[in-house]
A and B are shown apart, each in its own frame.
Chain A
Amino acid sequence: MDNSKRRFLKGCGGVIAGMSVYTVTQPPQANTAEQVSELKYAMVHDENLCIGCNACEDACRKVNNVPDGVTRVNIERSGPFGEYPNQSYRFSRHSCQHCEAAPCVKVCPTGAAYIDEETGIVAVNEDRCVGCQYCIAACPYQIRFINPETRVADKCDFCQQTQLSEGLLPACVLACPTNALVFGNLKDPASALVKTLKSKPTYRDKVDLGTRPKLFHVRTIDGEIVL
């Protein structure tokens, strides 16, 4: 009996030693970002300028081939506030927040959800995705969905595959008639994005979850105060 216990402990010790060797031999996190990228994309949605026309969603659907029934971006409308005929609505953009600490990336078992080191965009590697839907459940913003055509987790990627690769702004930004969407490089102080962020008070959704999202909102000042 004593002998067997000793051997069992030996086995356990072996497992622990193996695990610690594995963690030690892992490359330290700092090494992976050898040269820090000069790019970090983000977006501002000015809820005061937004008119809820849905042109952004239509443009996104067209450019990124998003099938009917699902969408990468959605303008959530709440209201009406006030009495007729002095009524107003509020609009909030509902799309990928491109979190710095993205829960979807953390939970993805195959690494199909990843953060593009070059741009900071949270992207999907379609080949790796098996469709376990863990990312969909993990996203606190509930913006991920299974694309019914590719059967792969899908979401906004700031048009990385379509517009950005051709040097164009994201489709939604170009389509917005009121310039309620500002897209740009967070690390460039001269960019319209940084200027907007420094001139208007903005908020981000669910920051207390520690996700550090990169979709900023300018809050509606119109209408009544809602608790």
Chain B
Amino acid sequence: MSAFHFDGLVWHWPIAIYLFLAGLSAGAVFFAIMLKHFKLADKAYLSPFVQAAAVIAPIAVCAGLGILVIDLTKPLAFWKILVFYNTSSVMSMGVLVLLVYQVMLFAWLGSVFSTPIQQWLKQRLPLLSKLLAQLARHEDVITGVLVILSLSLGAYTGFLLSALIGFPLLNNPVLPLLFLISGLSSGAAATLLGGVLMRGNPNGVEVRFIHRIEIPMILVEIALLFTFFAGLILSGGQSQVAAMKAIGEGFWGWIFWAGVVGVGLTLPLAFNLWMKVSSDRKFAYVAVTASFSLIGVLLLRNFILYTGQMTAV
């Protein structure tokens, strides 16, 4: 049995990347909204970090969906998922959330960036500028709905897997929460990385704000991971077998301990604490910490997807 090919494996790494990108998009949107609401207010559109999130979020969600469609055995029939719905299917409901999320995401982008876009339009396309004005007027409602949708999207990536009753590691109530939190932190990391790459101030108010949220978030993530595996091991039976097979041995054990726990959680936590103490943030610090977080979350998605399918009930 190799790490990437074994009996019973149905979903491969493209699904993990899709889950990663969907969570990342949701997280980036969430943090952009938080930045605007708590710190930047009307000047949000000037911040490189909000701009980065505004670029990353739609690209990530579209790329994720693109991968998902290509991964279908009948990619050209993907439209049927958009036409036929099944209320008991997590995937079907997720598609609905994704659709509305994308619409609201673009509406939100339009409303937040309405000032620069209006300036750029300069009375050309009066219909578009009218629409933008409307969006800007309803920004509060759009923002509120988008927050709910982004949280739903982040949790959906977990529910998608936890609905698989045949795999004890996946069919786990902590999984959606774990994916939501790690998705949010990947979004924060992507926002930070994009922001400093777009010449944002690595010691600015945005970085400080996100880092202040990131430390407790990493701690919660560690607690969730611990609960996740402790719960499996204490359940006994195949749950225990699944947990031990995942974190106890072999390739995926290394990925978990070195990749997810080490690079993805411990190092970013240490760097964050260090930056908090030294209170001087440099480009390299911020970029490296964010990159580690992103790698950790991507590895976590692959780790859960593959090890989850390794052990059936």
Contact, chains A and B (beta carbon distance below 8 A) = yes
A interface with B by C-beta (< 8 Å): 4-5, 7-8, 10-12, 15, 103, 106-111, 128-134, 136-142, 146, 151-152, 206, 209
Cross-chain contact B144 with A107 (CB below 8 angstroms)? no
Interface residues of B in 59-99 (CB under 8 A from A): 72-74, 77-78, 80-81, 83-86, 88-92, 95
Cross-chain contact B166 with A139 (CB below 8 angstroms)? yes
Q: Check if B213 is an interface residue, CB within 8 A of chain A.
A: no
Q: What are the nearest 9 A-B pairs in CB distance?
A: A131-B73, A140-B166, A4-B140, A8-B144, A109-B92, A11-B141, A110-B84, A137-B10, A109-B91
Interface residues on B, range: 35 or more
Cross-chain contact A209 with B165 (CB below 8 angstroms)? yes
A–B complex contacts, Cβ < 8 Å, 8 sampled: A4-B140, A11-B145, A103-B164, A107-B163, A130-B73, A131-B74, A138-B165, A140-B313
How far apart are the CA atoms of A137 and B9 in the complex, in Å? Answer: 8
Q: Check if B148 is an interface residue, CB within 8 A of chain A.
A: yes
Among B74, B85, B143, B309, the residue within 8 A (CB) of A151 is B74
Cross-chain contact A110 with B80 (CB below 8 angstroms)? yes
How far apart are the CA atoms of A8 and B86 in the complex, in Å? Answer: 29
Cross-chain contact A128 with B80 (CB below 8 angstroms)? yes
Cross-chain contact A5 with B140 (CB below 8 angstroms)? yes
Q: Given the complex, which residues of B lie within 8 Å of A4, measured CB to CB?
A: 140
Q: Check if B251 is an interface residue, CB within 8 A of chain A.
A: no
Among A7, A103, A130, A139, the residue within 8 A (CB) of B81 is A130
Given contacts A111-B84, A134-B89, A209-B165, contact A8 B10 (CB under 8 A): no
New A-B contacts (4) at CB < 8 Å, excluding given A7-B140, A110-B80, A110-B86: A109-B92, A110-B83, A140-B313, A141-B166
Cross-chain contact A130 with B89 (CB below 8 angstroms)? no
Closest chain B CB from A214 CB (angstroms): 18
How far apart are the CA atoms of A138 and B8 in the complex, in Å? Answer: 11
Q: Given the complex, which residues of A lie within 8 Å of B148, measured CB to CB?
A: 12
Interface residues of B in 92-141 (CB under 8 A from A): 92, 95, 138, 140-141
How far apart are the CA atoms of A8 and B146 in the complex, in Å? Answer: 11
Cross-chain contact B74 with A11 (CB below 8 angstroms)? no
How far apart are the CA atoms of A138 and B10 in the complex, in Å? Answer: 10
Cross-chain contact B72 with A131 (CB below 8 angstroms)? yes
How far apart are the CA atoms of A12 and B166 in the complex, in Å? Answer: 36
Closest chain A CB from B239 CB (angstroms): 13
Closest chain A CB from B159 CB (angstroms): 11
* Binary A-proximity of B291-311 (CB < 8 A = 1, otherwise 0): 000000000000000000100
Cross-chain contact B90 with A146 (CB below 8 angstroms)? no
Indicate the member of B74, B85, B313 with the most A CB atoms within 10 Å. Answer: B74
Q: Check if B241 is an interface residue, CB within 8 A of chain A.
A: no
Cross-chain contact B145 with A110 (CB below 8 angstroms)? no
Q: Check if B274 is an interface residue, CB within 8 A of chain A.
A: no
Q: Given the complex, which residues of B lie within 8 Å of A133, measured CB to CB?
A: 10-11, 73
Indicate the member of B78, B89, B90, B145 with the most A CB atoms within 10 Å. Answer: B89
Q: Given the complex, which residues of A lie within 8 Å of B267, measured CB to CB?
A: none
Q: Given the complex, which residues of B lie within 8 Å of A110, measured CB to CB?
A: 80-81, 83-86, 92
Given contacts A5-B140, A8-B141, A8-B144, contact A107 B91 (CB under 8 A): yes
Among B10, B89, B140, B145, the residue within 8 A (CB) of A136 is B10
Q: Check if B312 is an interface residue, CB within 8 A of chain A.
A: yes
Among B91, B140, B163, B166, the residue within 8 A (CB) of A209 is B166
Closest chain B CB from A5 CB (angstroms): 7
Cross-chain contact A12 with B144 (CB below 8 angstroms)? yes
Q: Given the complex, which residues of A lie within 8 Å of B95, measured CB to CB?
A: 109
Cross-chain contact A132 with B312 (CB below 8 angstroms)? no
Q: Given the complex, which residues of B lie within 8 Å of A10, measured CB to CB?
A: 141
Q: Given the complex, which residues of B lie within 8 Å of A142, measured CB to CB?
A: 8, 166, 312
Cross-chain contact B77 with A131 (CB below 8 angstroms)? yes
Closest chain A CB from B51 CB (angstroms): 23
Q: Given the complex, which residues of B lie within 8 Å of A140, measured CB to CB?
A: 165-166, 312-313
How far apart are the CA atoms of A110 and B95 in the complex, in Å? Answer: 11
Cross-chain contact B86 with A134 (CB below 8 angstroms)? no
Q: Given the complex, which residues of A lie within 8 Å of B309, measured CB to CB?
A: 137
Given contacts A130-B80, A136-B10, A137-B11, contact A107 B89 (CB under 8 A): yes
Cross-chain contact B88 with A106 (CB below 8 angstroms)? yes
Q: Given the complex, which residues of B lie within 8 Å of A8, measured CB to CB?
A: 140-141, 143-144
How far apart are the CA atoms of A69 and B307 in the complex, in Å? Answer: 25
Given contacts A109-B91, A111-B86, A142-B8, contact A137 B164 (CB under 8 A): yes
Q: Given the complex, which residues of A lie within 8 Å of B138, measured CB to CB?
A: 7
